[in-house]
Structures are given as C-alpha cells and as structure tokens.
C-alpha cells in the first residue's frame, strides 16, 4: 500500500467520523472531498467505499449506548427490559420509510443526485432551516413536548423517520434530517439526537449491506490494497465517531444548532461559487 493512499484513507475516516453525526452531511463531504483528493480505487469499489466506511461510525453507537440498547442486560429490571424492547420497536418503525424509499430508488439517486450542485444547494437549504427552527425555539414558539427518547410515541418515531427520507438526497445529512424532524415534531434536541443515533444502526447497516451486495453481484474485482484501505477507513471512522458522539451529546445540552446552520450555508455558497467557475 502506498503511504499517500493510506493517508487519504485515514483522512476520509476522520471526515466520516466527524460528519456522520454532526448535522452537516457525511455523504456530501465525502463526495466533495473526492473532487480534490482522489483515492486510487476502481470506480465500483470507490462507490462502495464511501458507504461501507460508515460501518465504523455505526459501531460507535452500540459502544457508547450499549446498556441503553441492550434488552438482555442483567442489570435491568423487567420493566426496563420491556422499555428497551419498545425503544427498538420505535427505532425500526422510524427506519422503515427511508429503508423502503432508499431500496426502491437507490439507483436513481446514485445516477442523478450525487452531484456537487445538488450537495451545495442542500447544504444551504438545510442550513437556513436549522437557523429558522432554532430562532423559533428561542422565541418560545416551539417548546419541546418530548424531552426523553423513552417518551417518544410510535407516531413520533414515524414522523421523524419520514424526515429521514430527505437524507437520501446527498448534502442534507441523515442526522440533520432526523434531528430537525424531531425538533419540528416537538422533540427536544437531546432526545432527537439520541433517536437519530439509534436509527442510524439499522439504516446504515442496511445501506452498507446493499452496496456490498451490489458490488458482489456486479462481478467487480477487488485488490488486497483496496480492502486494506477500506479497513483503515472503517477503524479511523469508528475511533473518531466515539469522540464526536460524546462531544455532540454534551453540545446539544448547552447550545443550539445554529452554528451548524451557518457552517452549512457558508460551505454551500463557497461550493456553488467554486463549481460555477470550474
């Protein structure tokens, strides 16, 4: 493995670990970075790489929330175990809309929406949305009704899951869509962020599995170096994700998401300007 390719994989793992959980769009950042830092991989493997690298990020959630998500813990009472099972049911309900739409329209989305202009526009639109929602909340017009993820109803889970469909457009952000959807539904920032993390498990596992299956069915070949680069990206994204999730859960207790909205708008405008002259 060439050292420069190793460094690129490490860098992409860092970007994935940061942007997967912050509401700034991991897929958007990965695609845009590929415009400037090209991994020397086959196009088929690269397409899979950008999705499967998320497996590292996924593993960070059960690592940090293992007790919360484990219905078989000996330390839990019977009622707590039932509550955990109920939480998983709501996670599955929330994951269904995006899973169905993503499965049906995966090829269309890949063919027409994975472009820099679409990503840049989505960054700006969602940036504005975050600022508006936080402004309304500050003015007292949108006080949360649900402050704990355990208080979520199945209806709340389905509504948040419906917002997750929007994340199929690159640049919108899966965490951004679900957190914003939760806040608009009347769920607090903290509860929205937690439920967003939990829904990531089935959604991202499914997306990674689908990409791997398509890669295998296509008959594309893979080299040992490509597999090693993927492994490096997954490990780095896992380590970084653990740190970022801890940071974000502390951040949302004290701060609004407006700063991410501003970041998205600045980045989106910069990218629109850049690609307008390329």
Q: Which residues contact 211 (CB under 8 A, 6 or more apart)?
A: 47, 48, 51, 52
Q: How many domains does the chain have?
A: 1
Report the pLDDT value the prediction gives residue 141, as an integer from 0 to 100: 61
Mean pLDDT split into 10-residue runs, the chain, 278 residues: 88 94 86 81 87 92 93 91 95 94 84 85 92 82 81 94 90 89 89 93 90 89 91 96 94 88 93 81
Report the pLDDT value the prediction gives residue 170, as an integer from 0 to 100: 87
DSSP assignments along the chain, one per residue: --HHHHHHHHHHHHHHHHHTTTTT-HHHHHHHHHHHS---S-HHHHHHHHHHTHHHHHHHHHHHSHHHH-TT-TTS-HHHHHHHHHHHHHHHHHHHHHHHHHHHHHHHHHHHT-SHHHHHHHHHHHHHHHHHHHHHHHTTS---SB-SGGG--HHHHHHHHHHHGGGGSTTS-HHHHHHHHHHHHTB-HHHHHHHHHHHHHHHHHHHHHHHHHHHHHHT----HHHHHHHHHHHHHHHHHHHHHHHHHHHHHHH--SHHHHHHHHHHHHHHHHHHHH-
Report the pLDDT value the prediction gives residue 1, as an integer from 0 to 100: 60
Range of the domain at 20: 3-277
């Amino acid at each position: 493995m060439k050292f420069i390719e190793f460094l690129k994989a490490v860098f992409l793992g860092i970007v994935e670990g940061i942007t997967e959980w912050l509401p700034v769009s991991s897929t958007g950042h990965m695609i845009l970075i590929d415009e400037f830092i090209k991994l020397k991989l086959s196009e088929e493997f690269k397409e899979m790489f950008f999705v499967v690298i998320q497996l590292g990020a996924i593993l960070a959630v059960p690592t940090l929330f293992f007790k919360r998500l484990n219905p078989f813990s000996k330390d839990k009472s019977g009622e707590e175990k039932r509550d955990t099972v109920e939480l998983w049911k709501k996670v599955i309900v929330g994951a269904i809309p995006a899973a169905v739409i993503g499965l049906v329209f995966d090829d269309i989305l890949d063919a027409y929406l994975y472009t820099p202009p679409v990503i840049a526009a989505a960054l700006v639109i969602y940036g504005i949305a975050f600022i508006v929602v936080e402004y309304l909340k500050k003015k007292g017009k949108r006080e949360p009704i649900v402050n704990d993820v355990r208080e979520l109803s199945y209806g709340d889970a389905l509504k948040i899951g419906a917002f997750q469909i929007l994340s199929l457009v690159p640049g919108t952000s899966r965490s951004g869509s679900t957190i914003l959807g939760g806040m608009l539904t009347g769920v607090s920032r903290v509860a929205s962020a937690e439920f967003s993390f939990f829904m990531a498990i089935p959604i991202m596992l499914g997306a990674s599995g689908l990409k791997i299956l398509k890669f295998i069915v296509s008959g594309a070949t893979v080299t040992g170096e490509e597999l090693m680069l993927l492994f490096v990206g997954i490990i780095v994204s896992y380590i970084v994700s653990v740190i970022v999730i801890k940071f974000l859960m502390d951040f949302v207790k004290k701060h609004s998401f407006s700063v991410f909205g501003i970041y998205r708008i600045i980045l989106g405008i910069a990218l629109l300007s850049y690609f307008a002259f390329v």
